[in-house]
Copies of this chain bind each other. A is one copy, B any other.
Amino acid sequence: MFEFKIAAQSGAARTGTLTLPHGTVETPVFMPVGTQGTVRALSPNDLRSAGATLVLANTYHLHVRPGEQVVEKLGALHRFMGWDRPLLTDSGGFQVFSLEGSRRLDEDGVEFQSHVDGSRRTLTPERATEIQWVLGADIAMAFDHVVPGGADEATARDAMERTLRWLERCGKRHEELRASYVATSLRRKSSPGENVQRSVVASCNQTLWPILQGGTHLALREEGLRRILDLGSWTGLAIGGLSVGEPKPVMYAMLEHLEPKLPALPRYLMGVGFPEDLVAAVERGVDLFDCVAPTRNGRNGSAFTPDGPVNIRNAEHRDDVRPLDASCDCETCTTFSRGYLRHLFMAEELLGLRLLSLHNVRYLIRLAGEMRDAIRRNAFGPWAVEWRRRYLHSGSA
């Protein structure tokens, strides 16, 4: 369980297999984002047809609504959302720090106001870990303190130090929950009539991943990485606090600098991204990604294609019989014309939101598949040049 095997490398890019309780995941992999326990406008069948193997859900959102106790009563997160493949829950750190309005941070945790009913809530490393344990995803994330992309070194260090102290507390609580589960399990064996909660059973094999912070400060990131690795024997590692407003070259430079220092764990670059970001990050050794871009942009009528983004609302698509992306095998591209898709958007029909979301998710999942193929052929560099020539209409990155 939680095994990660690298099968091939091409430069820093690598492809491998991540084994999780609910299935195996080929990396590099793009995770569609199911913030509230649903990937917006898509059903589990849509996600399967798009080839999704790993889906992200959000602790903050599910805690606020419907509440983790409700999810637990409804059979824990997998059963709740009808998704039987691997799941990852973000810890809520990012959401709490991006919340508009009042929030109060201290060493214990963060007090914030629910965006749903205005009630005061508190998330601590322990609470975030407990909620995720109850939700029962395959991978839980440590509760972290995220700072904006432009944060100065003192601010970034403060947040990184806190994130490290919180990581220890998350790890401790996660171990306690696991030990308590094992104890319950053992008791259950001796008294078979005892009713063990489904979610506890589902959580037995949950793993916890740390999140590396440190803003855009290389030395902080290096130090943070070293100290995370000193804190435990992890099954994966996330890089957080990037793609939060800093210029893209800064993010790329950070990844390049960190790459040789990263251990042989799966590397998850949080909140990334757009097609060009996926290619650039895989080139720099990243394995996992999540981003709302395919669904959010899809709902706005913007579609990824091998020739760059297409805005389906444009008048040029009015009577265009061609599919959105002739190379794509998704339901949208194999069934409908651009003209029909444009009509759905102009007529504000719900089906349009779904069809473009589906295509965009399939696009990123196919893109990850193409990258895995290129890596296996040890030809990632030339593949990326060709890909960029077409997607960005230019030969250079």
List residues of A whose CB falls within 8 A of some B CB.
36-38, 40-45, 61, 65-66, 69-70, 73-75, 79-82, 318-319, 321, 331, 335-337, 339-340, 342-344, 346-347, 349-351, 353-355
Of the A-B pairs whose beta carbons lie under 8 Å apart in the complex, a sample of 22, sorted by A's number, is: A36-B347, A37-B340, A37-B343, A38-B344, A38-B349, A40-B349, A40-B350, A42-B351, A65-B343, A65-B346, A66-B318, A66-B347, A70-B319, A70-B339, A70-B343, A73-B321, A74-B337, A74-B340, A79-B337, A80-B337, A81-B340, A350-B353
A75–B322 Cα gap in the complex (Å)? Answer: 11
3 residue pairs, one from A and one from B, having the closest CB atoms: A73-B319, A41-B350, A82-B335
Contact indicator B41/A355 (Cβ below 8 Å): no
Copies of the chain in the assembly? 2
Known: A43-B331, A350-B40. A336 touches B82 (CB 8 A): yes
Query: Which chain B residue lies CB-closest to A336?
Result: B82
* Chain B residue contacts of A343, Cβ below 8 A: 36-37, 65-66, 70, 80
Question: What B residues does A42 contact at CB under 8 A?
Answer: 351
A55 to chain B, nearest CB (A): 13
Docked complex Cα distance between A343 and B57 (Å): 14
In chain B, what residue has the closest Cβ to A44? Answer: B335
- In the assembled complex, which residues on chain B have CB atoms less than 8 Å from the CB atom of A70? 318-319, 339, 343
- CB pair A355–B319 under 8 Å, yes or no, is no
In the complex, the chain B residue whose C-beta lies closest to that of A334 is: B82
**Chain B residues within 8 Å of A321, by CB:** 73-75
Per the bound structure, the CA–CA distance linking A351 and B83 in Å amounts to 14
In the complex the two chains form, what is the Cα distance from A336 to B84 in whole Å?
12
For the complex, give the distance between the alpha carbons of A350 and B45 in Å: 15
- Having A74-B339, A79-B337, one finds 7 other A-B pairs with CB under 8 Å, namely A36-B347, A37-B343, A41-B350, A70-B318, A73-B319, A75-B337, A354-B354
CA of A65 to CA of B345 in the docked complex: distance in angstroms?
A: 11
